[in-house]
Every structure is written in C-alpha cells, then in structure tokens.
Amino acid sequence: MPFLSLLRLLLLLLLLSLLRLSLSRPPKGVLIDCGATAGSIIDNREWLPDTGFISTGTAKNLTTPDLVPILSTVRSFPLSGKARRKFCYDVPVYRTGKYLIRTTYFYGGINGNDLPPVFDQIVDGTVWSVVNTTEDYLGGMSSYYEGVFVAAGKTISVCLAANGYTDSDPFISALEFVLLGNSLYNSTDFKSYGLSLVARHSFGYNGEIIRYPDDQFDRYWEPFGDDIPTVASVRNVSVSGFWNLPPSKIFQTELTVGQPELMEIQWPPASLPNSTYFIALYFADDRDSSSEFPRVFNVSINGVPYFHNLNVLRAGVSVFANLWPLSGPTKITLSPAAGSTLGPLINAGEVFNVLLLGGRTVTRDVIALEKVKKSFQNPPLDWNGDPCLPRQYSWTRVTCSEGSRIRVIALNLSSMGLSGSLSPSIANLTALTEIGLGNNNLSGSLPDLSPLQRLEILHLEGNELSGEIPPSLGNIDSLREM
C-alpha cells in the first residue's frame, strides 16, 4: 500500500475513533443525588451528594425495596403553617449556558401520609410548574420534570415551595443540570422565555426510554404506540443536520399508514392547559432516497395548518413552531398531498410549554443581601434563591419594589432572634427605605450607612452593638425615625 494511502487510512481511523469518543463522552453538567451523604458513579457518570448546594432541609432514607440508587434518598423541607416559603438549591453554572434541568421525585411515604404532597417548583424568579406525583406514585413509578433555561448569572437556583394544596413536607429525589449545545431549541428567545417539557415521544417504539448514551444530552424519549400501524427499520439518519440533535434511534421506528390516506394521532396524550407551546416533529423516510415516488403530505394541528407539502426524505427532516397556541386535547393530522401515492409517517415529537420568565432581582442587591445573610449566624431558613421573585415567595421579612427593575426596599427583621453581626454590605442596598433589626442579638459595630440616602426608618435597639454611632447618619436627610 502506498505511503500516502496508508496515511489517509490512519487519519480516517483516528477521526472515526475521536468521533466515537466524543459521542460516548457523558454529557457535561451536574448530577445531584438529593439526601445522599456520599457521591456515587452510575453508568459512568458521577452523582454528587447535595450538601454542597443547599443548607436547609432534612436528608431521609427510603425503605421501599429494590429502588434505583438515586431514588433511595430524598431531601424534605418543613412546612411552616400557611407561610409560603421556598427552599433552594444554588447550582454553579456557566453564564449564558443553556441547560436542561431535570427534577426527579419518588415519595416512598416519607411524610407518613398515604399520598405525596403537591407543591411548586421554581427556577430563579420563575414558577416553573406544579409538582404533582400522585398518579405516578400510585402506579409504583417515580416522576420527572424537565425544562430548558439559559443561565443569566453564575448560578441557577431550583427551589421547592408550598402552595395552597400542600399538606405535608415538599421533597426531592434528584436534580440534574445538563449543558446543551448552542443549536438546541435556538429559535426560542431565552432572555424572555424558558421551556417546560410536556411530552417527548418516539413514535412506534415500545422499548425502554431512549436516553444517554443514545441521546448525547440525556433527554428522555418515551415510547408511544397509539393504534396506528408501526414500522421498525434500520436507517442511517445523520442527526447533525437537525438543530435539536435528536438521537438517531428515534428514526428506527415510526407510525405510518400503508396507503395514501389520512392519519390522525392524539398527541400529546394529556389534555393541555390554555397556553403557548414549542412543538417539534421529526420525520425520516424508510425507503431509498432515490425512489421516484416522493412521500409528500400536509401537517395540521387541531385543524390548523402546521406545514404544507412536507417532502420527507431518508435523510430526515424536522418542523417546529415557537409559540403555537393549544388548549385541551390535541390532534395531529397528516394528510397526503394531491397526487401522492404514499401514506404519511412520523417518527418522534417534542412539545414544551413556553414560560414567560419572571425576571430577577437587581444583581447588586442580591450580592449585598447574600453578604448580609452570611454575617448572620442564624438567617431565616428560606433566604435562598432570588430574594424578591417570584413575589409570592420572596424572602421572609424582605420587601421589594414594583416594576421591571426589582430592588430591595425594606428589611423588617426585628424580634427574629438573629445573632452575628451586621455586614457593611448592607450599605450597598441603596434602595432601602427601612431597616428593622431591633430586639435581636447582633453584636459588633454599626457600619457606615451613609450611602442609604433613601433610608427613612432605622431600628437597632435591643441588640449588643458596640462602638459609636457613625456621625455620617446625620447626612441622611430622609431619615426621620431612629
């Protein structure tokens, strides 16, 4: 063999081996085993105990037999009457990184009630969804929720919070952050919206959930059969041409009809609340692309045209909509185009609820309040996540401004048994009009508060503060009560 030919062959083999290595490499991200006391390796992926990401709640072991490892422990969070408190995991991320976030829940009777509690889950300042695992738990299954969000800072907080239906302690089994490729779901404006998964199915497939290593981002593709004939085949579909990079395995099965006739699918299976949705549908022909008879059909959703004259080739194609309104049961209709001699087919689909993001408290205030929190030895248990948002879950005794630019305007922490000191960073909360810290056990000196030019009320009595009162307080013209 000539030297150049041998060199080309070696280079080709090297490239193929590098490609196989990149495809087999576990997804980047953070896997958190909630309630666990030690890390573990599962399917060549590292799971971390949750103690480095949260400072409250109680770790509990489940006694249910034959559980997978990440379901055998949970962290639960105490209810406090009717108070709406949130309990947050703060997870380091890459700023502007796009993340798949998955929460997993298995109740296991940890609260002593027959049925699991219903509660809210929150990402940063946005209510993500209600967590209701009752139906799955009665069927002996765990529940998972999946969303796609872009990091606005160096951390993302995922919080659990009691709502009006919560009758026992909220809990969580696992929390996953997977860094997604830039092309995935890139038609969504992630500065304004997040995506909450409603359904993701591989049509005509009846095996185990398709996930990593078949899906390089460990998305879950559930089986979906319906009553329509299914076809299984081996196809060489290059997923690199799809923005959302679906696993090639979803193109090995399909729902189809043999004749050029109408095909209807009730999907997603559940009735949907009135909202706007991101929908992506995936198709690949099961015949040789050189066939003289093209497979062309129209796609409609609930009778509204979705895509006209879709020409499906063996290489595959996807069609998507960013803000599609849906409400109630959903019917996808595939109808052969005029003159077509082949029936339609479909391989897979994803649908997400499009969430309008709730915003964030001004970063300067968040940093300052975190430093104030660290100076207290016993801060309120719910001082985690965004201080102001969602508004029904703002931090205990913290009052925030209205409008689009969210500032902290009052701290009413009197008679809360606080100990520790008062951080100088409190002076960076420049929108404060009121500080109430009376009748606690704070010690140390009073920091310079002169930057707080809007401050009207200051209560510090009943503490163990030492030193002189800074004369700069006299420079705050708005101060009227001290």
Token duo for residue 18: 């590098």
For residue 331, pLDDT beyond 80: yes
Rounded distance, CA 5 to CA 10, Å?
9
Residue type, 309: N
pLDDT at 346 over 90: yes
Q: What mean pLDDT do residues 163-190 have? A: 96
pLDDT for the residue 148: 98
Residue 369: pLDDT band (50, 70, 90) is: very high
pLDDT in tens, 106-155: 999 999 999 999 999 999 999 999 999 999 999 999 999 999 999 999 99
- Which pLDDT belongs to residue 456? 96
Residues with Cβ within 8 Å of residue 114, at least 6 apart in sequence: none
Tell me what the mean pLDDT of segment 1-25 comes to: 44
Cβ(383)–Cβ(239) below 8 Å:
no
Model confidence band, residue 339 (pLDDT cutoffs 50, 70, 90):
confident
- pTM value is 0.90
DSSP-based three-state secondary structure for 6: helix
How far is 372 from 427, CA to CA, in rounded Å? 10
Residue 199 has pLDDT above 50, yes or no: yes
Whether domain 24-180 has CATH 2.60.40.10: the reply is no
pLDDT-derived band at 231 (thresholds 50, 70, 90) equals low
- For residue 223, the cross-strand partners are 202
Is pLDDT at 471 greater than 90 in this prediction? no
The secondary element (H helix, E strand) that includes residue 9 is helix 3-24
> Is the pLDDT score of 23 beyond 90?
no
- The yes-or-no verdict on residue 312 having pLDDT over 80 is yes
**pLDDT digits 0-9 by tens, 246-255:** 999 999 999 9
Query: Residue 15 above 50 pLDDT?
Result: no
pLDDT of residue 17: 41
Domain boundaries 196-356, corresponding CATH code: 2.60.120
Position 29 pLDDT exceeds 90? yes
For range 82-106, the mean pLDDT: 94
Statement: residue 156 has pLDDT above 70: yes
**pLDDT at residue 100 in the model:** 98
User: Which of 14-23, 134-143, 150-159, 293-302 has the lowest average pLDDT?
Assistant: 14-23
| pLDDT recorded at residue 474 | 83
**Which DSSP helix (H) or strand (E) runs through 349?**
strand 348-356
Q: At the top level of CATH, which class does the domain 363-475 belong to?
A: alpha beta
* CA distance linking residue 4 with residue 330, whole number of Å: 59
> Would you state the pLDDT for residue 3?
42
Q: What is the mean pLDDT of residues 389-396?
A: 94
Q: How far apart (Å, rounded) are the C-alpha atoms in residues 159 and 124?
A: 8
- 377-402: average pLDDT: 94
Cα 438 to Cα 409: distance, rounded to the nearest angstrom: 17
Mean pLDDT check: name the lowest of 13-27, 89-103, 402-416, 426-440.
Answer: 13-27
- In 3D, which of 414, 398, 397 has the Cα closest to residue 460? 414
The residue type at 72: S
Average pLDDT over the chain reads 91
How far is Cα 309 from Cα 188, in angstroms, rounded to an integer? 25
Query: What is the separation of C-alpha 390 from the centre of its chain, rounded to a whole number of angstroms?
Result: 15
Q: How far apart are the C-alpha atoms of 124 and 432, rounded to whole Å?
A: 22
Distance CA 267, CA 269 (A): 5
- Which residues are CB-neighbours of 105 under 8 A, at least 6 positions away? 116, 131, 133, 142, 143, 144, 171, 172, 173
Dihedral sign (CA 339, 342, 343, 347): negative
Find all residues with CB under 8 Å of 304, minimum gap 6, and list them: none
Number of residues written out for the chain? 482
Q: Where are the domains of the chain?
A: 24-180, 196-356, 363-475
Which stretches does DSSP call E strand in 77-209?
86-92, 98-105, 119-123, 126-131, 143-150, 155-162, 171-172, 174-179, 193-203
| Calpha distance 347→369 (Å, rounded) | 50
Taking the C-alpha atoms of 202, 203, 208 and 212 in order, what is their torsion angle to the nearest 10 degrees? -10
Amino acid at residue number 260: P
> What is the pLDDT at residue 1?
45
C-alpha triplet 300, 306, 307: angle, nearest 5°: 105
- Model pLDDT, residue 7: 42
The answer to whether the beta carbons of residues 365 and 285 sit under 8 Å apart is no
Tokens encoding 361? 């408290």
What pLDDT is attached to residue 82?
66
**Tokens 């606690």 sit on residue:** 440
Q: Which residues have C-beta within 8 Å of that of residue 30, sequence separation ≥ 6?
A: 48, 91, 92, 176, 177
Percentage of residues in the chain with pLDDT exceeding 70? Answer: 92
Res 237 pLDDT > 80 = no
Lowest mean pLDDT among 77-91, 363-377, 418-432: 77-91
- pLDDT for position 24: 59
The answer to whether residues 85 and 382 touch, using CB atoms and an 8 Å cutoff, is yes
Q: Which element (helix H / strand E) includes 306? A: strand 304-312
Do 363-475 and 196-356 have the same topology in CATH? no
